[in-house]
Amino acid sequence: MTKKLRIAQIGVGGMGSVHLRLSHAKNPRIELVALCDLIPERCERMRRELGREDIAVYTDYREMIEKEQLDAVDIVTPNDLHSVIAVYALEHGLNVFCEKPDAVSVEEALKMQAAAEASGKVLMVMRNNRYTQKARYLKDFIASGAAGEIYCGRCGWIRRRGIPGRGGWFTTKARSGGGPLIDLGVHMIDLAIWLMGSPRPVAVSGCTYSKFSGDESAADSEHAAFGDAQKGGTFDVEDLAMGFIRFENGACLQIEFSWASNIKEEKRFVELRGTKAGISWQGDGAEIYTEQNGYPVDLRRTDGDPSSEHDAALRHFTRIILDGEEKDYVPQQGVDMIRILTALYESAETGKEVRL
């Protein structure tokens, strides 16, 4: 009989429901053992939706880990709990999958890395954009040498309006770690650096702004539904971040992330320039700009089913544990990511470049 991964999910609302519906409930190599959420009604609703009344329900992840015979946990909680739960699970001999961001500080990211190394267990953090078909296409193109040296680029995710959970944990720095830079920035910065071959970041500079914190009408898109909004709650994070990253190999990357800006429309993108070709990753596909026989040529690839990228990441995690598949993500990448984000916030406060 084929071994299944016995997994429990911690956090069932928001992205937690995405993990359950799009991956765990459909993956034949997963045995979903338990659900944990501070609001037990969420777990009960999910059990009914999945038709799985046999799944255990908990409100305390520590009790669940101690009582259930688990191989792994999937952490989909507010950001400040990622490292706390991950370290506890790793120290109790469990493999860990965690939603992004890795942690809310470099110190917490390092604790996660150390716990993974000490336990010998797998720690993987969501990097779903690596698993889109267009990203894999561009990764293979660059790896073949067809783009030449990738020496600069820019990336971003900018929204006209779309502040998630206004007044709740999303807009409370102590819980989220920041605004759109840490919420959206992890996605596109990771994708850009991964496509570039993961050069080591050495310096960061940037600016942050909060111009829509007092404007309740700014949260008027579908993204406002994420998180639990609280009327008159805390809003002490940025709504726009812009910056610049330098790498050890001499390459550089411009970045821009916003929850609310007076722009034409929402856009997420990665654009990289190489000595032989330039590439563009966008919402609806990938493009390559090169030359053939002395003429400029543009190549385009449309993407497949975008809903599969979260499932693809979680199934990779499953195969690492069950089959020994080579890891796409290692904890050092998470530490480097949080160093970049933390340095940009520091640079925005001091007005100076921060060396990593």
Give the model's pLDDT for residue 227: 78
Task: State the pLDDT at residue 302.
Answer: 78
Domains and CATH numbers, the chain: 5-125 (3.40.50.720), 129-309+337-355 (3.30.360.10)
Closest CA to 161 of 224, 83, 227: 224
- Structure token digits, residue 230: 């609280």
Q: Work out the number of other CB atoms within 10 angstroms of the CB of residue 80.
A: 18
Residue 344 makes CB contacts below 8 A (sequence gap 6+) with 181, 204, 205, 206, 208, 241, 243, 255, 354
The list of the chain residues with pLDDT below 70 reads 1, 216-220, 304-307
Rounded Cα distance between 5 and 23, Å, is 13
177: left (phi over 0), alpha (psi -120 to 50) or beta: left
Is residue 317 within 8 Å of 124, Cβ to Cβ? Answer: yes
pLDDT the model gives residue 331: 97
Query: What are the pLDDT digits (tens) for 228-271?
Result: 888 889 999 999 999 999 999 999 999 999 999 999 999 999 99
Residue with tokens 């702004």, as numbered in its chain: 209
Q: What is the pLDDT of residue 316?
A: 97
pLDDT at 223: 74
| pLDDT at residue 47, rounded to an integer | 94
Q: What backbone phi and psi angles, to 5 degrees, belong to 239?
A: -110, -5
Q: Which residue has the tokens 């990779």?
A: 316
pLDDT value of residue 219: 58
